[in-house]
């Protein structure tokens, strides 16, 4: 047995140099082909108007904006700034000749949807609202409020974890509101004609079903308008 093992360890497999070259060329060609296919698909999808998830085609007028907030270091401000960066929007210092996105406030609340037999709350509806204003020089300003509603089950067996779970859900709703703000700005593309007297916008509502049948609804509504 020891002789057989020694023989096996001494075996050297020799590869024909021509075979090695053909293998290397084949691998290189395969990588080049995959890269070419990805490039072609990306170009075709862009030309057809498709875009990747959580990215939006913003109007050229909004490719550079000033971004201000009621809370410069708050979570909502960070999330909106990240969405601007994700969508290729340059956030610059405020100037009179560039558009401005200003976060004006945020709030959250809850209401009881159902009760247990002992009259304890079994299910809540959490509400998160973010208000903001978009100002376009020469066109006007428009104030919006984005509201995110989501149900929340109260498990009496995990009372200690309730507060932490609730904060995590609200933070996810905050992120959804930040995405909705960018989505609303993308909808302004057809409304930035300077011949119009107002930045018009209809109320927008979007509902999605999450895990365990939980429904989350996001609504954006126009609050007020100022013409220039």
pLDDT tens, position by position, 54-69:
455 667 777 899 999 9
Range in 76-85, 139-148, 193-202 the model is least confident about = 193-202
Is the pLDDT assigned to residue 148 strictly greater than 90? yes
Quote the pLDDT of residue 93.
92
Quote the pLDDT of residue 130.
96
Quote the pLDDT of residue 215.
56
Q: What is the pTM for the complete model shown?
A: 0.65
The span from the CA of 180 to the CA of 182, in Å, is 5
Is the pLDDT assigned to residue 187 strictly greater than 60? yes
Is the pLDDT assigned to residue 205 strictly greater than 90? no
Which tens digits make up the pLDDT trace of 79-107? 999 999 998 899 999 999 999 999 999 99
Choose the most confident range, by mean pLDDT, from 3-17, 26-40, 116-130, 179-193: 116-130
Is the pLDDT assigned to residue 192 strictly greater than 70? no
Is the pLDDT assigned to residue 145 strictly greater than 70? yes
pLDDT range class, residue 120, cuts 50, 70, 90? confident
Which is more confident, 90 or 8? 90
Quote the pLDDT of residue 162.
72
CA distances from 130 to 101, 143, 178, 208 (A): 13, 11, 8, 19
In the chain, what percentage of residues exceed pLDDT 90?
32
């Amino acid at each position: 047995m020891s002789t057989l093992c020694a023989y096996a360890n001494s075996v050297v497999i020799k590869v024909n140099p021509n075979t090695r070259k053909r293998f290397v060329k084949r691998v290189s060609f395969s990588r080049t082909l995959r890269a070419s296919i990805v490039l072609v698909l990306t170009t075709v999808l862009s030309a057809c108007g498709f875009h990747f998830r959580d990215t939006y085609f913003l109007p050229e007028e909004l490719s550079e904006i000033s971004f201000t907030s009621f809370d410069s270091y708050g979570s909502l401000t960070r999330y909106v700034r990240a969405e601007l960066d994700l969508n290729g929007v340059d956030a610059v210092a405020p100037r009179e000749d560039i558009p401005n996105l200003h976060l004006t406030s945020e709030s959250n609340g809850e209401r009881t949807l159902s009760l247990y037999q002992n009259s304890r709350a079994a299910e809540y509806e959490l509400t998160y609202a973010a208000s903001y204003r978009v100002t376009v020089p020469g066109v006007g300003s428009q104030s919006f409020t984005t509201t995110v509603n989501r149900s929340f089950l109260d498990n009496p067996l995990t009372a200690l974890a309730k507060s932490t779970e609730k904060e995590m859900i609200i933070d996810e709703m905050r992120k959804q509101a930040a995405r909705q703000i960018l989505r609303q700005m993308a909808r302004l593309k057809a409304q930035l004609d300077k011949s119009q007297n107002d930045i018009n916008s209809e109320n927008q509502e979007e509902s999605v079903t999450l895990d365990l049948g939980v429904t989350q609804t996001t609504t954006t509504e126009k609050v007020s308008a100022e013409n220039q």
